Amino acid sequence: MPKFATAARSALADTRSRRNLRGAAAALREREAAAAAEPADWDDLREAGRAIKDDTLLNLDTHLAELERAVTEAGGVVHWAADAAEARRVVTGLVRAAGAAEVVKAASATTREIGLNDALARMGVTVRETAVADMIVQLGEDTPSHLLSPAAHRDRAEIGELFGRAVPAAGPDPAADPEALAAAARLHLRDRFLRAPVAVTGANFLVAESGTVVLLESEGNGRMSLTIPETLITVAGIDKVVPAWDDMEVFLQLLPRSSTGDRMTPYVSSWTGVTPGDGPRAFHLVLLDNGRTKALADETGRTALRCIRCSACLNVCPVYERTGGTPYGPVHPGPIGAVLTPLMRGVESAANASLPYASTLCGACADVCPVLIDIPDVLVHLRGKVVESRRRRPVPTPEMALMRGLAWTMGDPRRYEAALRRGTRWARLLSRGGRIRRLPGLLGKWTEARDLPAPPAESFRAWWDRTRT
């Protein structure tokens, strides 16, 4: 991935996608605000969600051990994956053992995080995305733009054109009508569900005390995936654990209202292990770390692991609304992606180091977060980590070299006075009409998006000395 600013240029130039995304975000924002205003105890629910997640994270090892025991006792198999490569090996091995040539997949950011689709494709297995938005992204060979609605950057006409080319059930000239497009998608996917021997899903929550997986979705594709195929594989991050069923009372109120603006998601599916004669014959739970324990060790950054992936922060973010999700990377878009990705992957790469700066720090994301993550605070914390990482480099960055030079200059009054006199003289030579339109060299980055006022002919110190002595 390139730096955020570089990756955002093409998105900023795509006015159609920006218009579509702005409309989708505004509609979701209004629905979420209305839904959150309904319960009289909304603030209490948010505080309860924060407290449950914080306690869970502080005792994560205990809850994960309890989860493994409960899943195993219910007839499931738990696999531990330290990173994305190990998770891919586990899932591809299970698919190979099942002899499957085709896999249906319910929406899952975690499988996107590990690059599962490409791994299965390399071994000759066809992956069918079954959520309509994910199917649109897959058919268009596109990248997701939103946590909740991956195809939010496409409008009805674009989707209609795409279905006309890639979905036989839609016919050669499908209408740009949501009901007609949904019906075509249903016909297109029905026989895929019936013939696929393996399904892969994600999870919204993992209940430790019972070993239950909970999945919320609005189309029924998740429920089809966990009902018909003989082998069910769930890939979930270790941060999805909640201790007890009682905790779901809180999260089943917070998540729907903060994600879609609904009182309750249309499909809330839960399953525990396997049951003879009902549902899949084999259930495998792949628990993924992939940097989560690294984030857990960060006292400030740990709070980001409370995230329940509602997408509320995306819909209020002025930066995300203009750039979409692609510049943040392939997995976590928006403000939460700007903190989760560098927390889990580190800030050594230029792309990850740029993410904490992809924010105005306006605080809107913290205001709407259902589990009270102070995203601006974590962003500032990560910016500090970026600066510290650059200090350790044997060859300093141009910015760091400039800052060190300024520190040396301003550390001595005589050096400072001399630099001020010479700098003022050169700056006034560069000015036109009282403004500096372009600074030379690397300093030109500053004036790419702003003009710099020309310095006065006389500095404040010089004026003070002249008028007060």
pLDDT of residue 100: 94
The rounded distance, in Å, linking the Cα atoms of 145 and 152 is: 6
Looking at residue 330, what is its pLDDT? 81
Query: Whole-angstrom Cα distance, residue 337 to residue 192?
Result: 32
Give me the pLDDT at residue 172, please: 67
* Confidence (pLDDT) at 179: 81
Q: Are 144 and 21 in contact (CB under 8 A)?
A: no
Contact 410, 416 (CB under 8 A): yes
**To 5 degrees, how large is the angle CA 353–CA 367–CA 54?**
75
Alpha helices by DSSP H, listed for 271-412, are 292-296, 312-316, 318-323, 334-345, 350-354, 364-368, 375-391, 398-410
Distance from C-alpha of 358 to C-alpha of 75, rounded to nearest angstrom = 45
Closest CA to 251 of 57, 45, 37: 45
DSSP labels, 39-92: -TTHHHHHHHHHHHHHHHHHTHHHHHHHHHHHHHHTT-EEEEESSHHHHHHHHH
Q: What is the pLDDT of residue 173?
A: 67
pLDDT value, residue 123: 94
Residue 452, strand partner residues:
436
pLDDT of residue 163: 84
Fill in the DSSP letter of residue 226. T
Q: Block means of pLDDT (10 residues each) for the chain, length 469 residues?
A: 90 90 91 95 97 97 98 98 97 96 90 94 93 87 86 85 80 72 84 90 97 93 89 97 97 95 93 92 97 96 96 95 90 94 94 94 96 97 91 72 83 87 78 79 74 81 84
Q: Please say whether the beta carbons of 308 and 254 come within 8 A.
A: yes
Mapped onto helix, strand or coil, the DSSP state of residue 368 is: helix
SS3 content of the chain, % helix, strand, coil (to 5): 55, 10, 30
Which pLDDT score, from 0 to 100, does residue 175 have? Answer: 67
| pLDDT value at residue 168 | 78
Contact 90, 77 (CB under 8 A): no
Distance in angstroms (rounded) separating the CA atoms of residues 221 and 239: 24
Q: How far apart are CA 49 and CA 57, in angstroms?
A: 12
Give me 412's structure tokens: 């001595």
Q: Maximum Cα–Cα distance for the chain, whole Å?
A: 97
What is the per-residue pLDDT for 385?
A: 94
- Can you list the domains of the chain with their CATH numbers? 43-290 (3.40.50.10420), 307-392 (no CATH), 398-467 (no CATH)
Could you give the CA distance from residue 136 to residue 125 in angstroms, rounded to a whole number? 19
Please give the DSSP secondary-structure letter assigned to residue 243: S
Three-class SS state of 309: coil
Residue 412, CA distances (Å) to 15, 108, 419, 458 in order: 51, 57, 11, 20
